[in-house]
């Protein structure tokens, strides 16, 4: 329909954009990386949220070109920021289940890193549990192949849906992103969960990212609990690259 043809057009004519949200090391305040988040402001439809873009793109066979566009764009951006900000900063890109399970996904990532002249450590990929557990064995192989490139893999929205600790044991991920619902309920039982998940994750040698930090008190409590990285409106809202550059006073 309409929405689909508009999306195709946007994809072909640079009508989409990528916003970046900082991931901050809680112990030092240092910016470790940025999550890339797709944005689309259509001249006819107005702002279309990713929650509609992604399912539509999946349904209409556009998720592969869309996902590749986001990856390419994000890598080009982080290449610049590794020069102007610091040389270990990375970009974290969301990957849909369909994109991840494509044969050739790892080769595509490898090729894009080479084209951008970046090491794998410049990239983190965010996947949800539900997209990985459908076929644990092939997911595990793909994750291992990505990690062999130096690419980090994060389990996004951890603690929502039908998460199971047995999946955590099986999936060789590097990073756990604790869903923002735990922060929102931190004064109301959420703290015990964050503490337990963090202890478990650290025993498994995983890095813990907490999403959805909106208040100073939350940030302090999470730092005390030993969570590694934080993300949320308090630290920084998703913003255009130019805005990030102004905010961190980067040379352009
Ligand atoms: O950007 P927002 O802040 O509204 O994100 C909504 C959802 O869309 C999140 O679950 C996020 O992971 C997802 N999302 C945002 N950008 C991308 C993208 O480039 N690819 C995929 N697959 N999902 C994305
Ligand atoms: O599913 P995923 O974790 O990728 O979703 C990222 C989404 O979370 C984006 O839509 C982003 O705008 C949103 N987000 C980022 N920080 C915060 C925050 O501090 N509070 C809330 N409510 N949403 C946030
Ligand atoms: Na994400
Ligand atoms: Mn998330």
Question: CATH number for the domain including 150?
Answer: 3.20.20.450
Distance CA 119, CA 230 (A): 24
Q: How confident is the model at residue 234 (pLDDT cuts 50, 70, 90)?
A: very high
Residue owning the nearest CA to atom 13 of ligand 1: 50
* 126 alpha carbon – ligand 3 mean position (Å): 6
Q: How confident is the model at residue 122 (pLDDT cuts 50, 70, 90)?
A: very high
Residue 123: name the closest of 133, 134, 109 by CA: 109
Distances from the Cα of 175 to the Cα of 43, 163, 197, 201, 242, angstroms: 37, 15, 12, 8, 28
* 87 alpha carbon – ligand 2 mean position (Å): 26
ipTM of the complex in this document: 0.96
> Which pLDDT does position 203 carry in this prediction?
95
Distance CA 9, CA 226 (A): 46
Distance CA 212, CA 35 (A): 13
State which ligand 2 atom lies nearest to the alpha carbon of 126.
Answer: 4
Is residue 23 included in any domain, yes or no?
yes
> Which residue among 17, 36, 50 is best mutated to probe the pocket of ligand 1, counting the most ligand atoms within 8 A of its Cβ?
50
Q: What are all long-range contacts of 234-243, with beta carbons under 8 Å and residues at least 24 apart? A: 235/22, 235/24, 236/21, 236/22, 236/24, 237/21, 238/19, 238/20, 238/21, 238/35, 238/37, 238/39, 239/19, 239/20, 239/21, 240/17, 240/19, 240/20, 241/18, 241/20, 241/77
What percentage of the chain exceeds 70 in pLDDT?
Answer: 100
State the average pLDDT for the chain: 95
Is residue 252 included in any domain, yes or no?
no
* 156 alpha carbon – ligand 4 mean position (Å): 5
Is residue 120 included in any domain, yes or no?
yes
- Host domain of residue 125: 2-247
What percentage of the chain exceeds 90 in pLDDT?
Answer: 88
Total number of domains in the chain: 1
Is residue 141 included in any domain, yes or no?
yes
**SS3 of residue 211 by DSSP:** coil
> Which pLDDT does position 163 carry in this prediction?
73
Residue 35: name the closest of 1, 3, 78, 67 by CA: 78
Q: 87-115 pLDDT, tens per residue?
A: 999 999 999 999 999 999 999 999 999 99
* 114 alpha carbon – ligand 2 mean position (Å): 30
> Which pLDDT does position 55 carry in this prediction?
93
Q: 212-228 pLDDT, tens per residue?
A: 999 999 999 999 999 99
Q: 36-83 pLDDT, tens per residue?
A: 999 999 988 899 999 999 999 999 999 999 999 999 999 999 999 999
Q: How confident is the model at residue 1 (pLDDT cuts 50, 70, 90)?
A: confident
* 115 alpha carbon – ligand 2 mean position (Å): 30
Is residue 59 included in any domain, yes or no?
yes
> Is residue 164's pLDDT more than 90?
no
Does residue 238's CB lie within 6 angstroms of at least one atom of ligand 2? yes
Residue owning the nearest CA to atom 21 of ligand 1: 94
Contact 32, 20 (CB under 8 A): no
Is residue 60 included in any domain, yes or no?
yes
Contact 15, 3 (CB under 8 A): no
**β-strand partners of 158:** 178
> Which pLDDT does position 14 carry in this prediction?
87
Residue 38: name the closest of 96, 101, 108 by CA: 96
Alpha helices in the chain (DSSP H): 2-12, 50-59, 63-84, 97-101, 105-116, 129-132, 136-148, 165-170, 180-184, 191-203, 216-224, 241-247
Does residue 21's CB lie within 6 angstroms of at least one atom of ligand 1? no
Does residue 156's CB lie within 6 angstroms of at least one atom of ligand 2? yes
């Amino acid at each position: 329909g309409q929405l689909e043809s508009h999306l195709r057009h946007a994809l072909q004519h640079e009508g989409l954009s990528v916003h970046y949200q900082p991931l901050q090391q809680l112990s030092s305040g240092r910016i470790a990386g940025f999550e890339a988040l797709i944005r689309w402001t259509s001249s006819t439809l107005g702002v279309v949220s990713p929650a509609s873009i992604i399912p539509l793109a999946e349904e209409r066979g556009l998720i592969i070109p869309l996902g590749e566009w986001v990856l390419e764009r994000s890598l080009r951006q982080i290449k610049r920021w590794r020069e102007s900000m610091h040389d270990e900063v990375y970009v974290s890109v969301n990957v849909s289940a369909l994109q991840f399970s494509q044969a050739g996904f790892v080769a595509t990532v490898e090729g894009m890193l080479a084209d951008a002249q970046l090491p794998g450590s410049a990239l983190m990929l965010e996947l949800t549990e539900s997209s990985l557990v459908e076929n644990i064995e092939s997911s595990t192989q793909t994750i291992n192949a990505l990690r062999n490139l130096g690419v980090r893999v994060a389990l996004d929205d951890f603690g929502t849906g039908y998460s199971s600790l047995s999946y955590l044991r099986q999936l060789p991920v590097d990073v756990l992103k604790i869903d923002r619902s735990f922060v929102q309920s931190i004064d109301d039982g959420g703290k015990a969960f964050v503490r337990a998940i963090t202890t478990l994750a650290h025993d498994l040698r995983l890095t813990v990212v907490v999403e959805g930090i909106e208040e100073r008190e939350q940030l302090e409590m999470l730092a005390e609990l030993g969570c590694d990285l934080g993300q949320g409106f308090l630290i920084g809202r998703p913003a255009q690259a130019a805005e990030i550059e102004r905010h961190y006073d980067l040379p352009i």
